[in-house]
Structure 1
Amino acid sequence: MSLLSRLRCITVDVTGTLIAYKGVLGDYYCMAAKSAEMPCPDYKRVHEGFKLAYTEMAKKYPCFGFAAKMPNIVWWKTCVRDSFVRAGYEYDEETFEKIFRRIYAFFGSSAPYSVFPDSQPFLRWAREKGLKWDFGVFSGLEGVEKPNPRIYEIALERAGSIAAEETLHVGDSLRKDYVPARSVGMNALLLDRFKTPDAEEWRKSGAIVLPDLEAVRELLSSEKSASTF
């Protein structure tokens, strides 16, 4: 018997699983600075500055400021400003406003993202098989984020009258995807699209690790898949 025969729902992580960022952060910050007639900032310094700023904001105001009732744009404006400051770039308010607006609008569009070629075929196949997946759960709206298992419970609630054991979660992080999904009773597996060194440890931890969504489809359709999970 295939696992597919007892599944009714699939939840899928987005970034790294369905889509990827195009280019590097420095490209977008450089374009934004040039749009305000400023020189292009150093890519590496900006990237490192962003990592520090994002980590600090996520710790101080988790879920993009949900508990503090901070508007999304304010959260990101604070993060972007701190990214530049940590990289050694400080702008007057008018200049920064121009730079930030360009960055915020750009990341709010589809321009910096690319969809993996197997994503849409996989989702179409899942729909054809009667699997529910067309709903979203966003940490900034729910007030909880991975790896908190509660976000997976919310996904099950959003799916309707579907049990955890009738659901499969596909992601790309052992800590944020596999472990919390399994803790609420969901089936789970991981994708290793970029041949991460951590993948071997994932397997040793008991996770099923596959290279792409086509491999997921093949596994789910296999008569032996039910015994794999």
Structure 2
Amino acid sequence: MWSIQVLQNPTFTRHSCRRLATWAKEFPRRIRVITTDVTGTLVSFRGSLSDHYLGSAAKCGVQIPQGTSFERSFARAYREMCREYPCFGSNMMTAKEWWKLVVLRSFAHSGTTLTPEQQDTVFQRIYSLFGSLKAYEKFKDTLPFLHWVQRKNIVCGILSNADERYGDSILPMLGLTHDELQFMCFSKDWGFEKPDGRFFLAAMQQAERYLHHPGSSKDPLLPGHVLHIGNDYAKDFEGAKRAGMHAVLLNRYNEGDVAQEWQRRGAIVLNDLMDVVEFLGRCNCQLG
């Protein structure tokens, strides 16, 4: 077992005017492992958060104050919980208990009063909804990409700031199982979150189990053999680069200004997973 070390990239510089971190572009020579984020990368949310939360509350007879920005109330509650109980509660509470606190705080911040009975019924309705196909769908290129990865003998797995329900039920419900994704690392299970380099390198340890089979290369897995795919500059791109890995960001939702800023700061930005296939082809790197 090799030790976990977070690397400082020697090409890391500072922009003289904006004082924003920039990275020199580096292209892979060999990719043996791909790690990927979940939402915004493999899977998309369906509908809006406010529709799901407020619709569930309305069905339970809850009146929502007029002029409420529920997305803002939810964001505040989510930030508070991440600060007070990081990694979805880690070993301090279950993910379901963590999400119940988020839901109840979201309604409280919106000025909505729930009776004790409504607290239970509203939460259970929301929690069940976010474990169903009403809240998620996979992108059309997800399975074709994962099948291409398999044909190239690349080990592929999840690296996500999420709880274990994704791996236990949500991804399998969408047809994404251990047949397509050999390993799944969720921050709830590990007690680390992106961009913590320990989380990225813990995923390498998981991937290494699937590299050594009869007929496979005995070469040690290096951070430079790993490509991480995500959609957040700090968590996905910088986190992976600081761990010594390669990284690309997906601009799934055509956020032009955001994508341009990512590119200005040194990120490789692509539109979808098929663009990742083309990118690796242009790099002419060894696969598997």
Give the conservation status (yes or no) of the 8 Å contact 2:34–2:155: yes
Give the conservation status (yes or no) of the 8 Å contact 2:65–2:111: no
Query: Displacement of 1:26 after TM fit?
Result: 1.4
Give the conservation status (yes or no) of the 8 Å contact 1:27–1:43: no
Q: Which deviations, in whole Å up to 9, do the C-alpha atoms of 1:53-110 show, x marking residues without a partner?
A: 001111111101115x111111111110010011010111011111100001111223
Q: Which deviations, in whole Å up to 9, do the C-alpha atoms of 1:169-215 show, x marking residues without a partner?
A: 11111100111111111111111122222211211222111111111
Q: Equivalent of 1:36, from 49, 53, 60?
A: 60
Q: Equivalent of 1:200, from 256, 260, 266?
A: 260
Q: Which amino acid aligns with 1:139?
A: S
1:106–1:43 Cα change, 3 Å: farther
Compute the TM-score of the two structures, normalised by the length of structure 2: 0.72
Work out whether 1:181 is the aligned partner of 2:240: yes
Give the conservation status (yes or no) of the 8 Å contact 1:144–1:151: yes
Give the conservation status (yes or no) of the 8 Å contact 2:62–2:114: no
Quick check: which one's helix share is greater?
1
Equivalent pairs counted in the alignment come to: 222
Which whole-Å CA distance do the structure 2 matches of 1:190 and 1:85 have between them?
Answer: 35
RMSD: 1.9
1:112–1:43 Cα change, 3 Å: farther
Q: Equivalent of 1:57, from 75, 81, 86?
A: 81
Work out whether 1:215 is the aligned partner of 2:275: yes
Which whole-Å CA distance do the structure 2 matches of 1:203 and 1:34 have between them?
Answer: 43
Which whole-Å CA distance do the structure 1 matches of 2:67 and 2:97 have between them?
Answer: 24
Q: Which amino acid aligns with 2:95?
A: N
Give the conservation status (yes or no) of the 8 Å contact 1:171–1:189: yes
Secondary structure of 2:184's counterpart equals: coil
1:44–1:17 Cα change, 3 Å: farther
- Counterpart position of 1:140: 188
Which whole-Å CA distance do the structure 1 matches of 2:55 and 2:103 have between them?
Answer: 14
- Counterpart position of 2:207: 159
- Counterpart position of 2:178: none
Quick check: which one's strand share is greater?
2
Which whole-Å CA distance do the structure 2 matches of 1:121 and 1:4 have between them?
Answer: 22
Which whole-Å CA distance do the structure 2 matches of 1:104 and 1:41 have between them?
Answer: 22
Give the conservation status (yes or no) of the 8 Å contact 2:252–2:271: yes
Q: Which amino acid aligns with 2:281?
A: S
Compute the TM-score of the two structures, normalised by the length of structure 1: 0.90
Query: Displacement of 1:39 after TM fit?
Result: 4.0
Q: Equivalent of 1:26, from 31, 50, 55?
A: 50
Alignment of 1:12-161 (within 5 A): 12-39=36-63, 44-66=68-90, 69-133=92-156, 134=181, 135-160=183-208
1:136–1:43 Cα change, 3 Å: farther
Give the conservation status (yes or no) of the 8 Å contact 1:26–1:43: no
Give the conservation status (yes or no) of the 8 Å contact 1:167–1:187: yes
Secondary structure of 1:198's counterpart equals: helix
